[in-house]
Amino acid sequence: MTPERFTRIDQMLQHRQTDLTVCMEKVHKLHNLAAIVRTCDAVGISEVHAIWDHPKMRLSGHTATGSQNWVQVKAHDSITDAIKVMKAQGMQVIATNLSDTAVDFRQIDYTKPTAILMGQEKDGITAEALALADQDVIIPMVGMCQSLNVSVATALMLYEAQRQRELAGMYQPKTDHIEKQERDRIMFEGGHPIFAKLCRQKDLPYPEIDDEGQIVASEDWWQKVQMSKTAWTEIDND
């Protein structure tokens, strides 16, 4: 990894908002999924949640323009499971929904740990999810259209969250908000993508990363990276 690459990734990690996320409930159009993940990366979100209609659905590198390399998409079997995970992290769950109790999305305090729940393109958020949310919000509209594209609506809310957090000083550089193992993973996958791919192909553990972004690994690890998996027995038997 070049020093320039290391510095860029390190600066990105220093601004990550680990207590802000998005939960996509059955959003199924790939261009919307990609746009949401890309916006999440842009405002400093490193992890989003998703409930898929199809169990094998995922973002491709071409569709997501590389943003999926920096934002983890965690899939859940149900919206109940997803919200349970987010609430266990102390997050308020905000849902876009036109209801009697809904407030302007800008009235929410996004400096609190927050999960923004976005629903499927046609039918919106399910009744099950709405029952689990802490607050409904609306995006005021004065035109003839009744709703925005899901990725556009997500972007509006995320940039309001960013605005509030910047005013609160929450984008000041920090180094202790991401665990070392997770930091090493991001550094390794982003700074050493070829070796990361080989590790995944060969079921090898990721190595540690030093303070300059370089790989710290045993000779055994280096040999296995460069050898075919069938040849590993020669090393293991030595």
Mean pLDDT of 199-217: 90
At residue 84 the predicted structure's pLDDT band, cuts being 50, 70 and 90, is very high
Judgement on whether residues 46 and 151 belong to the same structural domain of the protein: yes
Q: How many domains does the chain have?
A: 2
**Which of 167, 189, 212 delimits the end of a domain?**
167
Tell me how far apart the alpha carbons of residues 87 and 125 are, in angstroms, rounded to a whole number. Answer: 18
Give the relative orientation of helices 180-191 and 3-14 as an angle to the nearest 10 degrees: 140
**Which of 109, 139, 167 delimits the end of a domain?**
167
Judgement on whether residues 161 and 209 belong to the same structural domain of the protein: no
Q: What is the span of the domain harbouring residue 194?
A: 180-236
pLDDT score of 17 more than 90:
yes
Say if residue 139 carries a ligand binding annotation: yes
The percent of residues above 90 in pLDDT, for the chain, comes to: 47
Judgement on whether residues 195 and 126 belong to the same structural domain of the protein: no
Say if residue 96 carries a ligand binding annotation: yes
The pTM for the full model equals: 0.84
At residue 76 the predicted structure's pLDDT band, cuts being 50, 70 and 90, is very high
Q: For 22, what's the count of Cα atoms within 13 Å in the CB-facing half-sphere?
A: 32
Q: How confident is the model over 112-167, as pLDDT tens digits?
A: 999 999 987 777 788 999 999 999 999 998 887 877 889 999 999 999 999 999 99
Say if residue 158 carries a ligand binding annotation: no
Judgement on whether residues 184 and 74 belong to the same structural domain of the protein: no
Residue 128 lies in a domain: yes
Tell me how far apart the alpha carbons of residues 120 and 26 are, in angstroms, rounded to a whole number. Answer: 5
Sign (positive or negative) of CA dihedral 102, 104, 109, 112: positive
* Domain containing residue 99: CATH number: 3.40.1280.10
Judgement on whether residues 88 and 66 belong to the same structural domain of the protein: yes
**Which of 134, 167, 200 delimits the end of a domain?**
167
Judgement on whether residues 79 and 156 belong to the same structural domain of the protein: yes
Judgement on whether residues 81 and 117 belong to the same structural domain of the protein: yes
Judgement on whether residues 23 and 132 belong to the same structural domain of the protein: yes
